[in-house]
Amino acid sequence: MVSIQSRYTVFPSETTPNETLFSLCEQIKLRTHAPLLYVFKPHPRHDASTFVNALRHSLSQALTIYYPVAGRLRWIQGGRWELHCNAKGAQLLEAICKDVSLDDLDDFVPTHLVSQLIPNIDYDVPIEDTPLLVAQLTRFPCGGVTIGVALCRGAIDGIATMRFMNTWAKLARGENMETAPCHDRNVLNSYKAHSGLHDHSEFHPPPPWLGPLGKDSKVAVAIVKLTGEQVKKLKHKGNSGSSSQRYSTFEVISGHLWRCVSKARYAGKREQPTRLSTLVNCRHRMKPPLPEDYAGNTAFPTVTTSSFGEMMQRPLSYAVGNVRAALERVTGEFVESALDHIDREKDMNLIRYNFHYPAPSVHKGAYKGNPNLFVVSWMNFSFKDADFGWGQPVYFGPGYMDSEGKAFLLNDANGDGIIVAISLEASHMDAFKRIFYRDIEQESLISKL
């Protein structure tokens, strides 16, 4: 339904440093691209057919400021990579969608149609030839547009991505940038300390599926919404029994998700291990802190493991407490130890696989099940600042989700509540959605007794 009309290579508008950047943190990332989708309603004073020209010009300026994004990754010894700032440029695609209006996209659930609004990256191309940034402007018959962005995970983290996108938008509005971001990857590498301080279980293989063979491996994607009142109910129950520290919105919703997913997947094995994984922005956890405008990767993984039986039997506060403990262990000292662990690792692909993908099934043959959950927070991302002169986006979220057992948490565009985009086995999705809302009301009723 989406047809690509034009392809442009966009280079930095000025000469940029021709340098090589290397970060230990970026070695644990994937070479794949994070899919971001921005949706804009029709603008009364702008023509969507000429919008691409403004995007091209401003992107060229943005690539001068964030010049590593215009470069390429390249392999070095030991399965590692470095970022060569060679100004090969980013890609900008112009597309049209003739048959569907923005109102037909059903809350922009990241399924097949919505995924067409995100650039398709060819990973059969050598890594040295793969753009780190590919963006796609798609025009709709109603006059609205979407901007789909694919940004390489191995080059930039979520915080830096938001700042890059907001810089691009600011330049598109004709405004100037006052300060440049920090691109010095040695700032983080310099924290590396001796190993042995921590057990880095986040790099160990995740628990495999022990239950009976699944019905199929088809992945379903859904968006579930929490109103502000429902978030309050969950936080009230999650904080019951904790007189000292109050759990955050992220901690409570992550714990709730973990319990609901475990219940939906439960197949009679209470001893089934289940791991919750997430990422922590470590800019402010280092001593001294990293520069606020550090433009590399500082998202370090952390995990917590329990069992289906514990998730089903224990209260919400148990799961939430486990999430809190996983986040609190990521101190500056923990990151230093993790950097040393990464530096000593001989097989980088093993580390990348263990954290980012489900464990292989203990059953021979194809994938049969996944007991684990990976929760990513896009909460408090300043996506409304991404006004390219077209007004604030009416929606921001992941453009597609093709791996089972992953959830994104986002602020509702109206400022009231949280949106959860989640991917699970299709056979578990209906049960999950039923349990997700049922448990909120049950928890609320129990807390009033």
- Higher local confidence (pLDDT), 77 or 253: 253
The band of 194, judged by pLDDT with boundaries at 50, 70 and 90, is low
pLDDT of residue 47: 82
- Which of 109-118, 210-219, 324-333, 373-382 bottoms out in mean pLDDT, i.e. has the lowest? 210-219
Give residue 231's pLDDT. 94
Contact yes or no for 165/83 (Cβ under 8 A): no
Strand ranges across the sheet with 33-40: 2-10, 90-97, 133-139, 145-152, 33-40, 395-398
Q: Please give the model's pTM, rounded to 2 decimal places.
A: 0.93
What is the predicted pLDDT for the residue at 89?
Answer: 98
pLDDT at residue 270 in the model: 94
Q: Across residues 412-429, what is the average pLDDT?
A: 90
- Which pLDDT belongs to residue 224? 95
Given a cut of 60, whether residue 445 has pLDDT beyond it is no
- Please state, in angstroms and rounded to a whole number, the distance separating the CA atoms of residues 340 and 24: 9
> What's the pLDDT score for residue 404?
92
Dihedral of alpha carbons 153, 159, 164, 166, sign? positive
Instruction: Please give the distance of CA 412 from its chain centroid, rounded to a whole number.
Output: 16
The 8-class DSSP code of residue 28 comes to: G
Per-residue model confidence (pLDDT) at position 361: 60
Element (H, E) at 419: strand 418-425
142 pLDDT more than 80: yes
Confidence of residue 195 (pLDDT cuts 50, 70, 90): low
Predicted pLDDT of residue 377? 95
How many Å apart are CA 212 and CA 363, to the nearest integer?
9
Residue 447 has pLDDT above 50, yes or no: no
Q: Which domains does the chain have, with CATH numbers?
A: 2-180 (3.30.559.10), 201-388+400-448 (3.30.559.10)
pLDDT of 244: 65
Q: Is the pLDDT confidence value at 362 over 60?
A: no
Q: What is the pLDDT of residue 448?
A: 43
Note every long-range contact of 83-86, with CB atoms under 8 Å and residues 24 or more positions apart, other chains counting. 83/20, 83/21, 83/22, 83/23, 83/26, 83/132, 83/154, 83/155, 83/185, 84/20, 84/128, 85/16, 85/17, 85/18, 85/19, 85/20, 85/21, 86/18
List pLDDT tens digits, range 275-294: 999 999 999 999 999 998 99
| Residue keyed to tokens 């291990």 | 273
- Residue 449, pLDDT > 50, answer no
Note the pLDDT of residue 21: 97
Average pLDDT over residues 370-383: 91
DSSP type of residue 305:
E
How confident is the model at residue 381, as a pLDDT? 85
Count of CB atoms situated within 10 Å of the CB of 118: 26
Residue 217: pLDDT above 80?
Answer: no
For residue 382, name the pLDDT band (cuts at 50, 70, 90): confident
Q: Does the pLDDT value for residue 187 go beyond 50?
A: yes
**What pLDDT shows up at residue 238?**
86
Please, what is the average pLDDT of the chain?
A: 90
